[in-house]
Structure 1
Amino acid sequence: MGWMEASFSLLIVCLLHPGVNKPYLPLASGEYSVQTGVIVVSSFAILSFWLGWIVGSWPLFWALFISFVLGTAYSINLPLLRWKRFAVVAAMCIFAVRAVIVQIAFYLHIQTYVYRRPAVLSRPLIFATAFMSFFSVVIALFKDIPDIVGDKIFGIQSFTVRLGQERVFWICIGLLEMAYLVAIVVGAASSNTWSKYFTILGHAALALLLWTRAKSVDFRSKAAITSFYMFIWKLFYAEYLLIPLVR
């Protein structure tokens, strides 16, 4: 998963125009020239596809390819592209990669390529896809909250620009708390005792941590909002420790 994430992330970082919203990033700060950025992104993209090809797993290769295509369309400033300018389309790109492609493709990779088993629609897979759908929507909404100034300047009509920072923030918190509540219900319905306790207690703890941290955010501070956004990503990856416990 690391090499796919690396190419996708570098593509976004290097091809976006972050001068107002993220002046500390390599291109905006002048640390990298545009030529260096192109070389870095191209090298990682080629290396990623090469690794995907030599591994020989088609689910893994197609996950990389589709993520690369969507990441390019999302970021690159060419006619009919740079889909991040359109709130709904941008959210669909993030949803497609994070909630659907990553969950299903990696599951198929392990089942069909690693274990040589037929693919079946398992309870953890259904749970992971549904749960990460909530997280993907939240990430798509929340990523624009710290960037409202730059988005207004460049005419990007994000949900934050339309509805305001605080309103979108609490919509995101509500969606995540709803996801944790559903996860607790799923855990309670499990017939496996250890799975029941781990999923209930784990998700309840994360839900409480999220709510406690959310109440302390200062909306006047971009640094505070950005820090909370990074905290959401930590919750996102923490979920992968709980998904295998769902039975």
Structure 2
Amino acid sequence: MNQISEQKSPKLQGSWLYAFWKFSRPHTIIGTSLSVLGLYLIALAISSTGFAIEQLLSVFGAWIACLCGNVYIVGLNQLEDVEIDKINKPHLPLASGEFTRAEGQLIVMLTGISALVIAWFTGPFILGMVALSLAIGTAYSLPPIRLKQFPFWAALCIFSVRGTIVNLGLFLHFNWALEQTPSIPPAVWVLTVFILVFTFAIAIFKDIPDMEGDRLYNISTFTIKLGPQAVFNLALWVLTVCYLGMAIVGTLRFAGVNSVFLVIAHLVLLAGMWMRSLSVDLQDKSAIAKFYQFIWKLFYLEYIIFPIACLLA
């Protein structure tokens, strides 16, 4: 994935912590953190149980386990893609030489083990979610399977974890922590489908600026097969379907969600996305990267907007 606003103050440039921050891929860390918070708020809004300070331990455990799992997955990908990243993402610590391969391996090993251990002590649903996510993340990057070589399977890995496993796993975990019946209400299914389709757009868009390195190292992507313009247009229409779908669902006035807020918020974001897309020059790698950052910001917003819609219901 492309660089997402990783600028820090001059004092942090060259520091180990700054290198680790880049290694963790900040945009994925933010997305993971917001998904944990968002699903907790949704579970709280839907449940008959009010907020209690004791619940924060369950939220914190899930958050740390997910963050460790996140670093394991993105770190393993960097370990296997050092030469490709020297072309596509030279700012990353392994590609730039800020981290040695041994340091990267140690971080990946420790975060992977920590994710499983913390999840084990946090609850059965979070353990299942983390274990399954790590397994898919490993299959995505690590030879001989290395699913990222194949466009369909690469996209499936990304949106199945972000779209389905994370949302359903986190909700079931918080539902269990709130001592509710282990079931998934319509509101959570709606969010899950939205994120599932939205993440497919992220999965195909992320390869547009990486075409040079992917082609050189025989990584087949939709961008290489279809061309950047076709993939850009496809991603836009996939996102359009997401937002229009959510607006239509809002008109159905199903229980647990404030329909008016849901419809207005998503139509506003849809209009903003199309306006922003008009200024993107596909010949300018920087412009593509900035629009990719914008898509991630839309992803973040969903984990703010949808919980608010549930709390307002």
TM range (shorter): over 0.9
Structure 1 residue 23 and structure 2 residue 90: aligned? yes
Cross-structure match for 1:40: 107
Alignment partner for residue 75 of structure 1, among 141, 157, 168? 141
Alignment partner for residue 175 of structure 1, among 238, 253, 263? 238
- Over the aligned positions, Cα root-mean-square deviation in angstroms equals 1.8
Give % identity.
35
TM-aligned CA distance change 1:220 to 1:235, over 3 Å: same
Alignment partner for residue 166 of structure 2, among 84, 102, 124? 102
Q: Secondary structure at the match of 1:184?
A: helix
- The 2-side partners of 1:135 and 1:243 are apart by 14
Shift of 1:193: 11
For 2:134, the aligned partner's letter is F
Cross-structure match for 1:241: 304
Structure 1 residue 92 and structure 2 residue 159: aligned? no
Q: Secondary structure at the match of 1:174?
A: helix
Shift of 1:191: 5.8
Does the 8 A contact of 2:187 with 2:257 survive in 1?
no
- The 2-side partners of 1:71 and 1:191 are apart by 35
Shift of 1:194: 7.9
Q: How many residues align?
A: 243
When structure 1 is superposed on structure 2, of 175-184 and 188-197 the one drifting more is 188-197
- The 2-side partners of 1:142 and 1:211 are apart by 15
TM-score, reference length from structure 2: 0.74
Matches within 5 A, 1:100-139: 100-112=164-176, 114-139=177-202
TM-aligned CA distance change 1:39 to 1:198, over 3 Å: same
Cross-structure match for 1:11: 76
Does the 8 A contact of 1:14 with 1:26 survive in 2?
no
Q: Secondary structure at the match of 1:20?
A: helix
When structure 1 is superposed on structure 2, of 185-194 and 142-151 the one drifting more is 185-194
- The 2-side partners of 1:194 and 1:120 are apart by 17
Deviations 1:140-161 (A, max 9, x none): 1111111111111111221100
Does the 8 A contact of 1:86 with 1:158 survive in 2?
yes
For 2:192, the aligned partner's letter is T
Structure 1 residue 51 and structure 2 residue 118: aligned? yes
When structure 1 is superposed on structure 2, of 188-197 and 169-178 the one drifting more is 188-197
Structure 1 residue 144 and structure 2 residue 207: aligned? yes
- The 2-side partners of 1:121 and 1:48 are apart by 24
Does the 8 A contact of 1:131 with 1:183 survive in 2?
yes
TM-score, reference length from structure 1: 0.92
Cross-structure match for 2:217: 154
Shift of 1:192: 6.9
- The 2-side partners of 1:110 and 1:54 are apart by 14
For 1:13, the aligned partner's letter is Q
Q: Secondary structure at the match of 1:138?
A: helix
TM-aligned CA distance change 1:30 to 1:188, over 3 Å: same
Gaps of 5+ in 2: 1-62
User: After TM superposition, what 4+ stretches of structure 1 lie above 4 angstroms from structure 2?
Assistant: 191-194
For 1:48, the aligned partner's letter is A
For 2:99, the aligned partner's letter is Y
Greater RCO (CA < 8 Å, at least 6 residues apart): 2
Does the 8 A contact of 1:98 with 1:136 survive in 2?
yes
